[in-house]
Each structure stands twice: as C-alpha cells, then as structure tokens.
Amino acid sequence: MKELQEKIKEYGTVLPGNVLKVDAFLNHQVDPVLMKHMGKEFAKLYKDAGVTKIWTVESSGIAPAVMTGLAMNVPVIFARKHKSLTLKDDLYTASVYSYTKETTNQISISKKYVSPTDKVLLIDDFLANGQALEGMLQIAQAAGVEVAGAGIVIEKTFQKGGQELRKQGLRIESLAKVSSLANGKAEFED
Amino acid sequence: MKELQEKIKEYGTVLPGNVLKVDAFLNHQVDPVLMKHMGKEFAKLYKDAGVTKIWTVESSGIAPAVMTGLAMNVPVIFARKHKSLTLKDDLYTASVYSYTKETTNQISISKKYVSPTDKVLLIDDFLANGQALEGMLQIAQAAGVEVAGAGIVIEKTFQKGGQELRKQGLRIESLAKVSSLANGKAEFED
C-alpha cells in the first residue's frame, strides 16, 4: 500500500534492535484517514473470504481493526491483555511473549462473543515473530472457530513470523512489507 | 443519542458496584457502525470549537476517538497506560486512579506530538469519577494546551466526576447519561 509506505518513509524512525517506531501515525498518534484507507484495503483483500468477525489485540490493533470492521460490516473484538490472570471459565486465553517489551502477557477473549460459526479475520499492527497472531490462532483453535486469514499493517519480512505462519497454511496479507531496517532506514519488498 | 441508549438497554448488563458492562459493543466487542455514528455526533457537537486534535486513553477510548478524528479530519492521540514509569523527559505524564480496577496507572503522551497551538477534544468511553479526564487535563495544563471540551460515550451522572468538572468550567458532552443503575437496570436522563 503506497500511502502507508510513504508514511513510514516520512514519519517512521528506526531504533536499535530492529524497532520501527511509527507512533506518529499508528500506535500513539493515529491518522484516522490512513486507518480508514487501510480498513478498506483489508476489506477488499478479504471480500470473498466469508469473514463474520474481526479479532485484534489491544491497543494498537484497534484503530485498523475497527476501520476494517466498518468496511466489512462485521463486529470487532479486541482481545484484552493481562500480566497474569486467574483462571476464568468464561474466557479463552493464550500467552503472548513480546520480544520488544520482553514480557509475557495473557490475552483473552470472552466466550460470550465467540460462536462456532464465526469465520474470523485477525488484524494487527505489526508482524515480526508472530507471537500475537499465534496467540489469536490458539484461541481460535480452542474455540473451534475458522480463521479466514490475517491482515497486518506492517510486516517485518526479515523476521521469522510471517514465513512460519504461511508455512502452516495461514493466509497473511500485509499492507507494508519491510525487508530491512539496516542503517536506520526502512527498505520495502515489491 | 437514541441509538446508543437502545444498545445499552439491549446489551448492557449491570454488575455489583454500579458497574455497567458494555463489552458487547464498546469495550471488548466493538460495533463499528455505532462507533462511526458516535464519531459524527461528537464532530457535530464540537464543530465550531476549533478542535485541532483528539486525545483519549487506551484502550476503550480508541474506537470512538478515531471515528471522531475521522469525522473532524484531525489526528488522534491515545495516551499510553503504564503501571509505573521511570521518568522520561520526552513524555507528559499524569496519574489516573481506577475505582473499578482499584489500581493507579500512569498515562503518558509524547511531547513530540503536542503543540502549544493545539486545541484538544478529550474523548473517553466512560465518565464516572472523572479520573481519566482529570489526568488528560493535567497533561494539557502541563503542556500549555487549550482544551475545547470532552466527549463521553456514557456518563454516570449519579457519580461525581461530571458535576465537578463542569463546575471547573469544562464543557462535557455525553452521548448517554445514565442516572441510575439501581435494581440492575440502567435509567437515563432526558
């Protein structure tokens, strides 16, 4: 997606440890018009996939996910993050390790809003090692819910998550594919 | 806002401690069409207020805030929550106590995205004791930023936040004003 690449080039900054900081328009300050365009793009990519619900993880996935839900006219669920969680019967949970923050969070989705007839589209802001997607996939499996695929705003293709998950058969559509962050500069595939 | 009242009546549940649970359409599962309508409503209410930016607090404020930003064509900032925070020179921070969760969080906004010429509209999902709004007002004051007012999805008018903040001169527009949650039932003002 050209518009997103341009935003990354203009406003993204590269930090040590292959961190691409996009808090100017995605995960602290948010550009609502860009979010709307991204939502329409995901809706177009998955228009024939029979999606009945969007899943994402708080917080940075919410804006693109809600715009995708609007474009596809389906509800959105954002999984909640908790540092730890006493067992709750009414929640599906999974563990998600964050390499950036070096913490493990539980993510949870209320069973009340999950139906076995759902076909979910997983939206997230970043795909690097694939931990957040794997957490959502675990929940989908536990719930017996079909997954149409994933919609990622920025995929770091030089990290292993996307490759491994595609190998497992997951459809992944990424709006920007960053192939390198060497020398403080984002390089894109295509 | 009639549509929101109907949603609360149909899907809201009342929990002990005057908690109104709206995770069916607002803060876990999200109804994107309702969010869009709320964004348009806030934009209409504040159309002549010279708003240049929306501020909210993660996570449940993000969906209505981004839709308001879209309707008003201005950027959105969601303040980040942290349990504790080592002092960072590049952040404005404030303490926010949650009566529901009985925890204190730091909220923070990056100085990079705050300009003294900003006129901000504060959006949040709930107004009860007013802690989140007060945190954002503290940051606005520290940053020397003008506040146009607040846009609240659900105000509990039987709790003190709204009254006190209006007394201090803050304009607050609430889309649903819940005057009572007695006997497990939401009653509305107007």
Is residue A89 domain-resident?
yes
**Percentage with pLDDT > 90 across chain A:** 89
Using alpha carbons only, how large is chain A's radius of gyration in Å?
A: 16
Q: Which of B47, B34, B36 is nearest to B7 (CA)?
A: B34
CATH number of residue B100's parent domain: 3.40.50.2020
Lowest mean pLDDT among A84-93, A152-161, B75-84: A84-93
Q: Is the dihedral of CA B168, B174, B180, B184 positive or negative?
A: negative
**Which residues in chain A have their CB less than 8 angstroms from residue B65's CB?**
30
How many residues belong to chain A?
190
- Cα of A59 to nearest chain B Cα, Å: 5
Is residue B5 domain-resident?
no
pLDDT digits (tens, 9 = 90+) for B47-57: 999 999 999 99
Is residue B188 domain-resident?
no
Domain that holds residue A71: 32-175
A73 touching B (Cβ < 8 Å): yes
Is residue B103 domain-resident?
yes
Under DSSP, the state recorded for B83 is S
Check residue A122 and give its pLDDT.
98
Check residue A124 and give its pLDDT.
98
Is residue A51 domain-resident?
yes
- Cα of B110 to nearest chain A Cα, Å: 8
pLDDT digits (tens, 9 = 90+) for A155-179: 999 999 999 999 999 999 999 999 9
Q: How many domains, in total, are found in chain B?
A: 1
Query: In this structure, how many other beta carbons lie within 10 angstroms of the beta carbon of residue A55?
Result: 29
**Burial category of B111 from C-beta neighbours within 10 Å (exposed 0-12, middle 13-18, buried 19 and up):** middle
Check residue B99 and give its pLDDT.
80
pLDDT digits (tens, 9 = 90+) for A109-135: 999 999 999 999 999 999 999 999 999
**B31 CB-near residues (< 8 Å, 6+ apart):** A75, B7, B25
Is residue B136 domain-resident?
yes
Instruction: Say yes or no for a CB contact (<8 Å) between B28 and A75.
Output: no
List helix spans (H) across B46-108: 62-72
Is residue B183 domain-resident?
no
The residue to which tokens 């209505």 are assigned? B64
Is residue B163 domain-resident?
yes
CB-based contact A53:A185 (threshold 8 Å): no
Mean pLDDT, residues B29-35 taken together: 98
Check whether B125 has a pLDDT greater than 90. Answer: yes
**Percentage with pLDDT > 70 across chain B:** 97
